[in-house]
């Protein structure tokens, strides 16, 4: 599949995703209730992979609700939220490299020293696989640049 076809297909498929929604200003990828990461514990990504969080252990940060599997996990997050927050507002890292905000599969991720990267995945496309096959450093630099631009634009409209 060509990059052009992929660029057209990913947003289309994401738009068809059932149950997908954003709240607030659309800067962060949240569900209808304002929950980030599909309710997965952000700390778990860096430990053993995504684990569902509990509504019993939550915190709100920057307009998003984060759920945790335990009080210990919530405490770790609060000690260093910048380390555990998903990059690019929780939008797909692959798409962000093209300046697009696309929904993700919260179980399709890479936890790196730079942060948590999330990716779109369907039965046709796995953008994490493509990220790893392409030049990840170049893709990340592009995504970083586009995210900074989106953040500046959002700041101007607030």
CB 89 within 8 A of CB 101: yes
Residue 55 has pLDDT above 60, yes or no: yes
User: Residue 111 pairs with which residues in a beta bridge?
Assistant: 116
Mapping DSSP onto H, E and C, the string for 19-68 reads CCCCCCCCCCCECCCCEEHHHECCCHHHCCCCCECEEEEEEEECCEEEEE
- pLDDT above 90 coverage of the chain, percent: 77
Q: What's the pTM?
A: 0.83
Cα 1 off chain centre by: 24
pLDDT over 80 (residue 10): no
- Whether residue 151 has pLDDT greater than 60: yes
Average pLDDT over residues 25-43: 93
Q: Where are the domains of the chain?
A: 1-16+86-158, 30-81
pLDDT: which is higher, 103 or 14: 103
């Amino acid at each position: 599949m060509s990059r052009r076809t992929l660029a057209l297909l990913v947003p289309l498929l994401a738009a068809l995703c059932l149950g997908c929604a954003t709240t607030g200003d659309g800067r962060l990828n949240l569900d209808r209730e304002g929950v980030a990461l599909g309710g997965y514990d952000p700390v778990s990504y860096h430990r053993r992979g995504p684990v569902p969080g509990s509504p019993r252990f939550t915190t709100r940060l920057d307009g998003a609700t984060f759920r945790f599997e335990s009080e210990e996990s919530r405490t770790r997050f609060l000690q260093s939220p910048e380390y555990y927050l998903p990059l690019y507002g929780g939008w797909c890292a692959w798409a962000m490299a093209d300046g697009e905000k696309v929904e993700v599969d919260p179980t399709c991720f890479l936890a790196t020293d730079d942060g948590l990267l999330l990716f779109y995945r369907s039965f046709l496309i796995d953008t994490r696989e493509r990220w790893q096959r392409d030049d990840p450093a170049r893709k990340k630099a592009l995504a970083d640049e586009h995210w900074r631009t989106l953040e500046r634009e959002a700041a101007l409209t607030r």
